[in-house]
Amino acid sequence: MTSRYRSSESADTPAARPNSLSPRRRTALKAAAATAVLAGPLAAAFPARAAEAPLFLHGLASGDPLPDGVLLWTRVTPTAEATPGSGLGPDTEVSWIVARDKALTDVVARGSLTATAASDHTVKADVRGLAPATDYWFRFSAGGTDSPAARTRTAPAADAAVAGLRFGVVSCASWEAGYFSPYRHLAARGDLDAWLHLGDYIYEYGTGEYGTRGTVVRQTSPTHEVLTLADYRTRHGKYKTDPDLQALHGKAPVVAIWDDHEIANDAWSGGAENHTEGAEGTWAARQAAAKQAYFEWMPVRPAIAGTTYRRLRFGKLADLSLLDLRSFRSQQVGVGKGTVDDPDRTLTGRAQLDWLKAGLKSSDTTWRLVGNSVMISPFAIGSLSADLFKPLAKLLGLPQEGIALNTDQWDGYTDDRRELLAHLRSNAIGNTVFLTGDIHMAWANDVPVDAGTYPLSASAATEFVVTSVTSDNLDDIVKVPEGTLTAVASPIIRAANRHVHWVDTDRHGYGVLDVTAERAQMDYYVVSDRTKATATSSWYRSYRTRSGTQKVERTYDPV
């Protein structure tokens, strides 16, 4: 692995298409428009073909690496009308090969699958029999057309002594808010064992309905809010046409979990803030459609049907527990109804929490990483002025009349958090690191057992939170220059939350997690302008936790 970040620029990016649509949260017209399949307009957007040769328009991807295998994914477009979500197009045989070399001459595995309209012409090959900790290249073919070759990598053997691991870490990518340059810069590194997507891979809103600083940089598809299976398929298909996302998928395997926007904003087991029962169909039908499309379009193995919680191991150095914090949770507490401390309310569900606790206790690796879609560290807003509190409350989805926590996070389900942290302490489980997205800000936190008495009381774990790829953060909501608000808000937030070592409320970017036996370190990178396809990237901050400490410290040496 190389030891330094390398940047690159790409001219192969679509032009921006600005317009003046103002963001709005809901629209009365979306339900009426939601049943349109849009096969005709989408077909017209694809390249004209004299012959109906299959095309691989949505790239290749791999995911969930194991010591002896990896999951390979693609989507074939067999005919022009067979666009995502259309339900059209013939059954098509798709073959695949895996090789040790990029030229695909040293072939080690091959097979074939049938792409059908029933799975939106997506295919997955769960390839086994590979060597651990090894780079491989793969390709799909159909009807005489070959896809480009893509790289993947297997995990180390379970009992291997691993010197180091390096993961890209991202979350919250809104198509309409800007370009996905963080993906391009991660792809350019060439040193990733895998990359973690911690949720909000897609957004469900219609055009102009979700934060874009008042300008839609590029229009999504379909243009209405996604509700049906055809809608979710179309939206996933749109995202998979992004060249930067395709580049990253083609360089390293992804390990992904969902958050709420893969389904609907502030989703819980029985509904969502952004779902109107009846007018938008039933929640059960919408949730099932969203999950079906997700598993069709993502190289993810469902460990338990319909969920994303599962565990991967990377030698003796680290295991990675991946959570599903939407499928089983109780409804979020609102103003005047319910309490965050109610032991009958849950974020994880009983079975998942027991699974997580058992896995953390039985782990024999040096590090226990937890892929976590919403922040576990407590967060009190503190004495922010009204001009700062209102936009922060909007970003967090809080009532703007005032509330001291975000009830969509672990703060809204304190009994689950209390039980988990007590389990870590009572069983002397160290080196637990939560890797988190969702909040559109970057954080480096200790995870205290009792925030009210910290730092006099213990820290049970640490947490690194990555900012958004493009989704609005605080400066975007207020529409002020980048960095303006974090200079004011960060000291106030840290004063009210003594376990928070650092928070940046304003910038977009990604993280690189580098793990050795001695420490787990997150390097935070920021991009110059989310609205520019050629945005540059630069290192911003680095924080680490040393083995055995359960505390975060700043370091000035990015890996």
What is the per-residue pLDDT across 420-439, written as a single tens digit (0 to 9) for each? Answer: 999 999 999 999 999 999 99
**Residues in CB range of 429: below 8 A, 6 or more apart:** 360, 361, 363, 368, 423
| Residue 424: per-residue pLDDT | 98
Q: In this predicted structure, what is the pLDDT of residue 9?
A: 34
Residues 184-208 have a mean pLDDT of 97
Domain with CATH 3.60.21.70 in the chain: 156-554
- Residue 37: its pLDDT value, please? 34
Q: What is the pLDDT of residue 400?
A: 42
pLDDT at residue 401 in the model: 41
Mean pLDDT of the chain: 88
- 52-153: in CATH 2.60.40.380: yes
User: Helix or strand or coil: residue 478?
Assistant: helix
Q: Provide the terminal-to-terminal Cα distance of the chain, rounded to the nearest Å.
A: 11
Q: Assign a CATH topology to domain 156-554.
A: Purple Acid Phosphatase; chain A, domain 2 (3.60.21)
At residue 384, the pLDDT reads 58
Q: Give the mean pLDDT of 60-75.
A: 98
The DSSP call for residue 449 is S
Nearest to 81 by CA among 41, 34, 122: 41
Whether the CB-CB separation of 506 and 475 falls below 8 Å is answered with: yes
Q: Return the pLDDT at 23.
A: 33
Out of 26-40, 278-292, 325-339, give the one with best mean pLDDT. 278-292
- What's the pTM? 0.88
Q: What is the distance between the alpha carbons of residues 457 and 467, in angstroms, rounded to a whole number? A: 28
The answer to whether the beta carbons of residues 314 and 167 sit under 8 Å apart is no
Read off the pLDDT of each residue in 246-261 and give the average, rounded to a whole number.
98
Candidates 89, 29, 37; CA nearest to 232 is 37
Q: Summarize pLDDT for 106-139 with one digit per residue, the tens.
A: 999 999 999 999 999 999 999 999 999 999 999 9
What are the counts of helices (DSSP H) followed by strands (DSSP E) for the chain? 11, 24
What is the per-residue pLDDT for 258? 98
Rounded to the nearest 10 degrees, the angle between the axes of helix 283-297 and helix 229-239 is: 30
Phi, psi of 470 (to 5 degrees): -140, -25
- What pLDDT sits at residue 286? 98
411-429 burial code (b ≥16 CB/10 A, e <16): bbbbbbbeebbebbbeeeb
The stretch 31-54 carries a mean pLDDT of 45
- Other beta carbons within 10 angstroms of residue 548's beta carbon come to 10
- On the question of pLDDT at 488 being above 90, the answer is no
pLDDT at 88 over 90: yes
Encoded tokens for 31: 């339900």
Q: Is the pLDDT of residue 1 over 70?
A: no
Q: Which of 27-36, 148-157, 393-402, 451-460 has the lowest mean pLDDT?
A: 27-36
Query: Which of 78-82, 114-118, 184-188, 390-394 is least confident?
Result: 390-394
Residue 351 has pLDDT above 70, yes or no: yes
| Per-residue model confidence (pLDDT) at position 22 | 34
Any idea how long the chain is? 559
Query: What pLDDT does residue 151 have?
Result: 98
Residues of the chain within CATH 2.60.40.380 domain(s) are: 52-153
